[in-house]
Amino acid sequence: MQHQSEINSVRKGILPRRIRTFMETESASGIVMIICAVLALLMANSPFSHVYKDYIHLHITLGLGDKIISESLSHWVKDILMVFFFLIIGLELKREMCEGFLSKRDQIILPLLAALGGMVTPALIFFIFNYNNPETINGWAIPSATDIAFALAILSILGKNIPPAIKIFLLAVAIFDDLGAILIIVTFYNTGLAVIPLLLASLGIAAIVALNRANISSITPYILVGVFLWFCFYYSGIHTTLAGVIVGFAIPMRDKNDLHHSPLNNCMHFLHPWVSFMVLPIFAFTSAGVDLKGLSISSFLEPLPLGIALGLFFGKQIGIFGTSWLLIKTRLVGMPEATNWRHLYSVSVIAGIGFTMSLFIGMLAFTGEHLQEMVKVGVIAGSLLCVIWGSIVLRFIANKPAIVSAK
């Protein structure tokens, strides 16, 4: 989730003024990710495709003593770099729950239930196309995710006159979407569990809770325990990104000895530029390179990519907009301030851009290279449809004033 104050943490003088100005824009992270994804696609379908494949399959060995781990670069991006992305998600969730819009119960009903509808409906559409295929059914959660960086980039570029309330609505939906994705990953996408590493992980969790209760405001102890948790989760069969979420929730929102000091905000301010402009672009570059030369129309119509693409394009907008329409029409909630149905529909379409989290879940769901390639085809196709149609809708409503009506 992009916040201008977080990007402003890049110190003046380190980067040229024009680059700093670009990084401070709300759409910057999404634009950089789009560029990296396009570069990956171009390289994967160029005469230099072997260079790209050698790059993402480059083996890197890490170890201490007799504990040696050798994996490909794309694996380390998923298991190490993406931990920092999930750390940001954990920090973001805690901040909004403590002091943001998620701290007010009357403001969370609409985005919470809309996000739930936007996760369940795509999964159902995927299930319809894959229920009788045991090889692909494990990918049911892939189209349930929203890429908030991409979505905000499109909204910021094309939705200049979108009311602030609708942007908050999209952010809230994305936050609940991220929380749902975390729960899905922890519950459904783990390998065989090992008891001893899990017991050690429980000790690590107890230690990090103790740090929080003791009001330790220094970030270093939390990071050290987080590294310990990473190793525990890696060897236990639970995905390592959970370590990032736990650390994010453990870091104190406020220092009880100095309420003006926020360890959580300081951590976010430091991490956000690195995650937005290094971690996510690297993930986009290593994940989006699909070899299109061997694909035909029939490849796009296979159950796996078709279920993902239609789940993202139709499932997200049906789930989010349909749930919102039902809640507002039955007067359980009100229409967001200064917005109308066109605004709600436009962000429902944009929320179908599921690039980062969808690709990430796809990597966890399937280990075979062919199935992972089909996941990429489905995610890119579905997200591209949402970008095109969402852009048309945003352009159509951009200069029209909202007529507030929930009747």
* CA atoms of 360 and 142, how far apart (whole Å): 8
pLDDT at 94 over 50: yes
Q: Which of 80-89, 163-172, 222-231, 327-336 holds the top average pLDDT?
A: 222-231
pLDDT digits (tens, 9 = 90+) for 310-367: 999 999 999 999 999 999 999 888 888 778 888 899 999 999 998 888 988 998 899 8
pLDDT at 33 over 80: yes
Q: What are phi and psi of 256, to 5 degrees?
A: -65, -20
Q: Which of 248, 203, 200, 202 is nearest to 222 (CA)?
A: 248
State residue 20's pLDDT score.
54
The dihedral built from the CA positions of residue 313, 314, 317 and 320, taken in this order, carries a sign that is negative
CATH topology of domain 4-189+239-397: Na+/H+ antiporter like fold (1.20.1530)
* CA atoms of 321 and 299, how far apart (whole Å): 30
Cβ proximity of 127 and 137 under 8 Å: yes
pLDDT digits (tens, 9 = 90+) for 11-23: 444 455 555 554 5
Every domain of the chain and the residues it spans: 4-189+239-397
- How far from the centroid of its chain's Cα atoms is residue 268's Cα? 16
* CA atoms of 257 and 176, how far apart (whole Å): 31
Average pLDDT, the chain: 83
CA distances from 329 to 113, 173, 325, 405, 407 (A): 14, 19, 6, 10, 6
* 87 or 152, which is more confident: 87
pLDDT at 3 over 60: no
CA distances from 17 to 6, 72, 74 (A): 17, 37, 33
CA distances from 375 to 37, 52, 136, 383 (A): 15, 19, 10, 12
The dihedral built from the CA positions of residue 197, 200, 205 and 211, taken in this order, carries a sign that is negative
Confidence of residue 151 (pLDDT cuts 50, 70, 90): confident
CA distances from 322 to 110, 118, 307, 345, 348 (A): 11, 9, 20, 9, 9
**In this structure, what token pair is assigned to residue 39?**
């570069």
Confidence of residue 389 (pLDDT cuts 50, 70, 90): very high
State residue 114's pLDDT score.
94
pLDDT digits (tens, 9 = 90+) for 229-281: 998 988 888 888 889 999 999 999 998 888 888 999 999 989 988 988 899 88
* CA atoms of 353 and 346, how far apart (whole Å): 12
DSSP secondary structure letter of residue 251 = S
